[in-house]
Structure formats: C-alpha cells, structure tokens
C-alpha cells in the first residue's frame, strides 16, 4: 500500500513537471508566434502615416440623394483607390450621406485627393465651350499609346460612330474648328479661352487636349498633350475607373507623416511590452505558481488577440494598442477574483482541490457579469464610433471574448488540473502565495480589514467629494474646457519642433507644446490647396514634417451628437442588464457611481486644461465599462452575503455592506494596480498622440475604485434601507437571483 502511494506521488510529480514544461513551451511559443502576426497586421494612420478624408456626398443634378447613388459612389471610389496601389485601404459609408477614406502608408497625398474626388467626366466641347458630346460616345477602355512624335498619349475607342461623325462634320465648318476634350469641366470656372495655353498639362488644367478638325471622321481619338508616361497612365486608369455619379465635398481631413507614425509605434510598443512584463511579475509575486499559469494565459491571450484582429483584417491604431493593454488588465482581474476566492477557502482550512473548485464556482458569476457590462459599452462604441475609436472598440470586444474563453475556461481548468495532482497539497504557499500562518480552520470565511469602517467613514468622505465635484466643475465652466478641433471645428496642426511657429496670414487660436512637438489650432477650415501650401511652407521653414487635421462644423455637430448618444445608450444598457441580474436599486446605485467616475475625469481635464477630443469620449465610455466591472464584483459579494445571512432588517445592512467591501477590498486594489501599470507605462514611455487618452483612463480607474467602495455601496445601503422600512404588507418577497451555473466550470 505504501509503495503504491509512493508511486502515485512520483507519477503526480512527473505530471506536474511535464505540465510545467508544456506551460513554458506554450509561453515561449505564444510570444514567438506573436512577432510575425504583429508585423503583418494592418497599421492605421497614426502608426505608419498616411491620409484620411471625410467627404459629404451630393447629387450632381441637385435632386435628392439616393442610396443607389451613395453605393455607386462607394464602388467607384474602390476602383480609384486601386489605382493608388494602397494596401488595405479603409472606405466606409457614414450617416448615409458621407464617405470616409483612410489610406495608411500613402506617399503622395495630393495625388490621392485628386484621384479620389475627381468625377472623371469626359466631355467634348467646341472653341466657345459649348457641349458637343459626352463620354457616352466612347466604348471599350482607354489605353496608353504614343503620338506621331513618340510622345505619351491616350487612345479612346469610339462606340457611337454615327454621332461622332456628325459632330466632327459640324465642327469642321466652324470658324474655330476645334474640338476640346475636358476632364471634369466646371461651368463656372473653366473656359478654353483662358486655358488654351495650359491645355494638355494635367497638373495645371482640366483641359486635356484641343485638336483642329479639317474633316469628318469616326475613328478612335488620340488625346495628345504634354504628358509624362506616368500622367498618361494615371489618366487612363482614371477614365477606366468610371465617372462618379455624385459630387464629393471634403469636410474633414487628416494627414500623418510616416516618420511621425513610426516613432509613435515604437514608443507605444516599448511601453506596452514593459507594462505586460510588470503585470506578469506582479502576478507571480502575489500568486506564485498560479500567477505563473495566469501569466502564461495572458501571453496566449495577447497572441490570440492579435491573431483574431489580423484574421478579421482589423486596422491597428494607437487607441487599439491601448485597448489591448486595458484588456490585459481586465484579464488579470478575472484571475485575481478567482485566486482571492480560492485563498478565502484555504484560509478556513479547506483542502486545496476543494478550495479551487469552490473558488472557481464563486468567482464565475462576478467575472461574467463584469465582462458583459463592459461588452455593452464596447459594442456601443463600435456602432457609434468613427475611425480610431472604432478600432479601439474592435480590439476591446475581441479582448473581452478572449478573457472569457482563455482566462475563465482554459486558465481555470489548468489551475484545477495542477491543484488536483496532490503535489501542492502541502505546498499551498508555492501554489497560490498563501502562508500556513494564515490558514486557521473555521466554519466560514473570516472578514479581513476589520478596523476599516467604510459605512461610518462615508459621512466624512462623501461631503468632501461632493464639495470637490461642485468646486471643480464650477472652476472648469468659468475658465472653459480645452476642446480640440473635433468639437470646435477648425484646423489642428502638429509639427515636430519646439521652435516659435509663424503661420503667416493665419491667426493662431491656441498653441500647446510638448518636449518634442508643437500643436497649433486655427479657426479656419483649410481647403486641400491651402493644406498643401501650408504643409510645404512648414517643411521648408522648419525642416520637419507636420500633421494637419481639418474638421468642419458639420463633422463637429455629428461628433457631439454621437458622444451624447453613446453615453446615454451605454448607461441605459447597463441599467437594464444590472437590473436583470441583480435588482433595480443595484442598477441605480451603479449608474450614480459611474457618473461620478466620468465627472471626476471630465473635471480633472477641465481644471488642468487638458485637451478634450473625440478619443476622450472613448476613454470616458471605457471608464464607464471598466468601473461597472469593479462595482459588479462588490455587488456580487453583497448579494451572496445578503442571501447567506437572510437579511430582513435594515439594521443588519451596515455590517453587511462593511463586510462585503472588506472582502473585495484587496481584490479592488490589486486589479486596479495591474490595470494601471500598463497605462502608466504608456503615459511615461508611450506616444504623445494618446497621452491624454491614457491620463483619462488613469484618473477614471482610480475614481472607479473609490466609487465602488463608497459611492455605489452607500447609495445601495440607503435605497435598500428604505425598501426594508416599508410595512410588511407592501413588501413583495423577492429571492436574490442565484449565480449562473455552467457544468464543468462551477458545478
């Protein structure tokens, strides 16, 4: 018998050694596989430079814009973008009358503008600009050819030979017997009498060619001009891509130089890697072997996040990387909740295997509820967000799903597997970081932090918070918030220099400097010609690159509308879900706490005059999603203790709240710490592009810890006390909902 037991112990040890070896292989393999995946992901403008433009679509004939017109415009632009040779362009229809085009990595931005926005309508006119024929007479595709002198030219095939013959027959008898071929003729500005000296030069005139007609003919037409081979090829591709059925009005644009994007990527990557390593070290330090397993799961989780993002052809932006690091913090949260519940069971003398089973069971509902509420916010961000905000939301959604799959199911199963081996039965400290001194057999979980009376101290803390909120908001409103051009309209110019900047005739409205760049805001909405001229001027005078971002009043109003809608819909979604899973008074308490967190962040930006832009709204919504995560865990503990203690009197509520907060207090501090460590790394080492975004997250998450301890619980205590104070005949008995159970995981 003794020999068999020794053999079993030996086999278990071998299994643990083998399992640890496999875990190490998975860890190293996942890290190695992440490198090629990361290199092949599509990078956004802020990571590789490029050009983004937002057009308002208008019908050419002044009639009502139809969905068919919008879709046909979209298809025509797809063909135009193919001409530019851009890898993975982003083209999206917005609000049924706008189209956003993002071309990451594009070198010649002005060429891109011209190719995209040109209606590409060919027309044949006489010397006096009267219309003779449209492109309807043409057939087949235009081709690059040469004229009789060997110069590059464009050949057009004639389809309606009868009409073409009749027109040329008419022109040959005119005093000025010339047929002029125009591209996108403008009735108000173009005239052959003004353009004839420039006709044939694509860079300076819409007049492509002017040919004298001495006899009627119906053969193919050769467009001759002062074309280079590249210009002739570009013209052929433009004609063959088809004409746009609508007019495109540029209402917003953004340019990012390649060197600027590359620097931002490198800084953010370094900050992100350091942040992840620090989180892994914290987990191993606090939870030893279990922390190592959780750390391995985090590396696998990170690799899978990038893999899924790559497979769905997502575009990675700076906010997307921030979402990745935020997701890591949330994934750590899932592990910490489980490990702390396991520790609670071990402290009262439960065997390791049983403690792991109970801990996993008790933590499941908290983890699922917390991630589902965050998912609600992420989905709303994806629906209402634009550009980089949508990329942030996409990465956040992926992270939440992978948290549930990798951290809830796989990681828990691996921990349970090692716990069940028997090798760690007498090595609990090695397994999960709990010393034997803290293990005292008892019938129920002991309450830590007994000296902390959160209910009593709220009478002092809450008035101070209220005073700070009122004072901070008043000061911010009086001195005004620092809104970016997203919400004011105008033009934002970022140039990589700290020298004094002069913009000539433009009046500088606002100027901000960092250690290596200067941001200038002017009220004017620059046209594409003004953007090109200003960009060239800045490069010539300061010998560096600049990024220019233009926002019209129309875009400004839409952003404000979407921001308000996103916040309202998010709060409604959270109220509905929390009411369904808990009670309505939990939902109201949680929402007030979320409003506190958002308001604290907004006031912080107002007091310190930090810039508020469209990405800041994404930060606020992320804070809402993450803070409810923290609050839900505390509510889950209140609900569990409420059921176990069978609370019937309001006099029992203060101690219930105190004990529930005490039990989750360390977990709140731990998960917030592991979440803000990567954020602090991004603030200190990352790109300036997302500095304010990360500051907002840092402030909001710290406010979230406070609100989950004081605000939400205090309000719940007040509402529940009022409910229990009602006469018994008015009280409807309602049993608190049990946590959801999933076979094989928590039952």
Q: Is 704 helix (H, G, I), strand (E, B) or coil?
A: helix
Straight-line distance from the first to the last Cα atom of the chain, in angstroms, rounded to the nearest whole number:
33
Q: What is the mean pLDDT of residues 257-286?
A: 82
Written as one string, the DSSP assignment of 293-308 is HHHHHHHHHHHHHHHH
Q: How high is the mean pLDDT of the chain?
A: 81
Q: Please report the pLDDT score of residue 731 as a whole number.
A: 47
Q: What is the mean pLDDT of residues 445-454?
A: 80
For 123-223, where are the alpha helices, taking DSSP H only? 161-171, 192-195
The better pLDDT of the pair 281, 518 is held by: 281
Q: Is 99 helix (H, G, I), strand (E, B) or coil?
A: strand
CA distance 544 to 563: 34
CA distance 439 to 196: 95
The better pLDDT of the pair 258, 270 is held by: 270
Burial tier of 466 (Cβ tally within 10 Å: 0-12, 13-18, 19+) = exposed
Task: Indicate the pLDDT class of residue 606, thresholds 50, 70 and 90.
Answer: very high
pLDDT for 5 beyond 60:
no
Task: Indicate the pLDDT class of residue 468, thresholds 50, 70 and 90.
Answer: very high
Instruction: Identify the helix (H) or strand (E) that includes residue 40.
Output: helix 2-40
Q: Please report the pLDDT score of residue 472 as a whole number.
A: 94
Task: Indicate the pLDDT class of residue 230, thresholds 50, 70 and 90.
Answer: confident
pLDDT for 113 beyond 60:
yes
Q: Which range (154-158, 227-231, 609-613) has the least confidence?
A: 227-231
Q: How many helices (H) and strands (E) does the chain have?
A: 22, 19
pLDDT for 739 beyond 60:
no
Q: What is the mean pLDDT of residues 62-80?
A: 80
The tokens for 600 are 């604290």
Q: Please report the pLDDT score of residue 38 as a whole number.
A: 66
Instruction: Identify the helix (H) or strand (E) that includes residue 56.
Output: strand 50-59
Residue pLDDT, tens place only, 330-339? 788 888 888 9
Q: Please report the pLDDT score of residue 334 as a whole number.
A: 84
The tokens for 514 are 């960092």
The better pLDDT of the pair 70, 318 is held by: 70
Q: Please report the pLDDT score of residue 706 as a whole number.
A: 92
Q: Please report the pLDDT score of residue 10 as a whole number.
A: 53
Contacts of 240 (CB under 8 A, 6+ apart): 141, 142
Tell me the CA distances in angstroms from 641 to 445, 593, 624, 712, one per residue in order. Answer: 11, 21, 26, 17
Residue pLDDT, tens place only, 38-53? 677 777 777 777 888 8
Q: Please report the pLDDT score of residue 23 as a whole number.
A: 64
Contacts of 6 (CB under 8 A, 6+ apart): none
Task: Indicate the pLDDT class of residue 88, thresholds 50, 70 and 90.
Answer: low
The better pLDDT of the pair 100, 496 is held by: 100
Q: Please report the pLDDT score of residue 742 as a whole number.
A: 54
Rg (CA), the chain: 33
Q: Please report the pLDDT score of residue 600 as a whole number.
A: 95
Q: What percent of the chain has pLDDT over 90?
A: 11
Query: Do 641 and 736 touch, CB atoms closer than 8 A?
Result: no
For 172-257, where are the alpha helices, taking DSSP H only? 192-195, 229-240
CA distance 346 to 190: 85
CA distance 16 to 423: 8
Query: Do 675 and 701 touch, CB atoms closer than 8 A?
Result: yes
pLDDT for 297 beyond 90:
no
Residue pLDDT, tens place only, 7-38? 555 555 666 665 666 666 766 666 666 667 76
Q: Please report the pLDDT score of residue 19 as a whole number.
A: 60
């Amino acid at each position: 018998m003794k020999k068999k037991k020794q053999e079993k112990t030996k086999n278990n040890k071998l299994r643990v050694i083998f399992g640890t070896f496999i875990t190490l292989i998975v860890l190293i393999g996942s890290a190695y596989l992440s490198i090629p995946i990361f290199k092949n992901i599509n990078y956004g403008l802020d990571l590789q430079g490029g050009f983004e433009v937002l057009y308002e679509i208008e019908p050419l004939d002044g009639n009502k814009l139809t969905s068919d017109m919008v879709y046909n415009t979209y298809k025509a632009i797809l063909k135009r973008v193919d001409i530019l040779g851009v890898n993975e362009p982003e083209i999206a229809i917005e609000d049924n009358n706008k189209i956003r085009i993002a071309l990451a990595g594009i070198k010649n931005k002005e060429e891109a503008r011209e190719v995209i926005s040109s209606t590409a309508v060919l027309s044949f006119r006489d010397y006096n600009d009267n219309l003779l024929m449209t492109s309807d007479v043409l057939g087949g595709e235009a081709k690059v050819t040469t004229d009789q002198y060997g110069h590059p030219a464009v050949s057009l095939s004639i389809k309606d030979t009868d009409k073409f013959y009749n027109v040329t027959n008419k022109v040959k008898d005119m005093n000025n017997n010339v047929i002029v071929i125009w591209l996108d003729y403008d009735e108000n500005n173009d005239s052959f009498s003004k353009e004839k000296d420039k006709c044939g030069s694509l860079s300076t005139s819409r007049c492509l060619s002017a040919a004298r007609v001495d006899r009627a003919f119906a053969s193919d037409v050769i467009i001759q001009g002062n074309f280079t081979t590249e210009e002739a090829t570009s013209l052929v591709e433009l004609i063959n891509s088809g004409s746009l059925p609508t007019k495109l009005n540029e209402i917003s644009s953004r340019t990012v130089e390649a060197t600027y994007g590359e620097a931002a990527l490198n800084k953010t990557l370094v900050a992100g890697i350091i942040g992840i390593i620090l989180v892994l070290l914290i987990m191993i330090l606090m939870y030893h072997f279990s922390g190592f397993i959780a750390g391995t799961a985090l590396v696998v989780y990170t690799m899978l996040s990038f893999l899924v993002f790559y497979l769905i052809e997502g575009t990675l932006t700076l906010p997307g990387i921030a979402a990745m690091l935020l997701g890591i913090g949330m994934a750590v949260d899932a592990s910490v909740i489980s490990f702390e519940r396991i520790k609670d069971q071990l402290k009262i003398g439960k065997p390791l295997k049983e403690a792991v089973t109970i801990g996993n069971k008790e933590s499941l509902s908290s983890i699922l509820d917390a991630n589902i509420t965050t998912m609600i916010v992420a989905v709303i961000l994806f629906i209402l967000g634009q550009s980089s905000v949508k990329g942030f939301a996409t990465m956040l959604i992926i992270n939440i799903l992978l948290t549930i799959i990798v951290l809830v199911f796989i990681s828990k199963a691996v921990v349970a597997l090692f716990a069940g081996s028997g090798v760690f039965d007498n090595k609990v400290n090695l397994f999960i970081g709990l010393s034997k001194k803290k293990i005292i057999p008892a019938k129920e979980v002991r309450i830590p932090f007994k000296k902390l009376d959160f209910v009593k101290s709220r009478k002092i803390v809450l008035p101070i918070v209220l005073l700070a909120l009122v004072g901070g908001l008043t000061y911010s409103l009086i001195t005004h918030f620092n809104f970016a051009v997203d919400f004011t309209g105008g033009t934002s110019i970022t140039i990589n220099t700290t020298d004094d900047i002069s913009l000539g005739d433009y009046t500088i409205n606002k100027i901000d400097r960092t250690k290596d760049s200067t941001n200038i805001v002017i009220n004017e909405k620059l046209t594409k010609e003004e953007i090109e001229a200003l960009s060239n001027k800045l490069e010539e005078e300061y010998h560096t690159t600049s990024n220019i971002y233009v926002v019209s009043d129309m875009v400004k109003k839409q952003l404000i509308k979407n921001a308000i809608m996103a916040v309202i819909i998010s709060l409604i979604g959270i109220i509905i879900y929390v009411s369904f899973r808990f009670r309505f008074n939990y939902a109201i308490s949680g929402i007030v706490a979320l409003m506190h967190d958002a308001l604290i962040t907004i006031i912080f930006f107002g007091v310190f005059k930090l810039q508020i832009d469209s990405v800041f709204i994404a930060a606020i919504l992320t804070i809402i999603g993450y803070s409810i995560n923290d609050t839900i865990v505390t509510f889950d503990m209140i609900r569990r203790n409420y059921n176990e203690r069978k609370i019937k009197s309001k006099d029992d509520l203060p101690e219930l709240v105190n004990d529930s907060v005490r039990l989750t207090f360390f977990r709140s501090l731990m998960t917030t710490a592991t979440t803000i460590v990567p954020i602090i790394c991004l603030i200190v080492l990352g790109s300036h592009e997302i500095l304010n975004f990360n500051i907002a997250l840092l402030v909001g998450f710290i406010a979230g810890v406070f609100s989950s301890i004081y605000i939400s619980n205090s309000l719940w205590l007040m509402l529940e006390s009022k409910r229990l104070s009602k006469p018994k005949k008015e009280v409807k008995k309602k049993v608190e909902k049990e946590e959801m159970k999933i076979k094989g995981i928590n039952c």
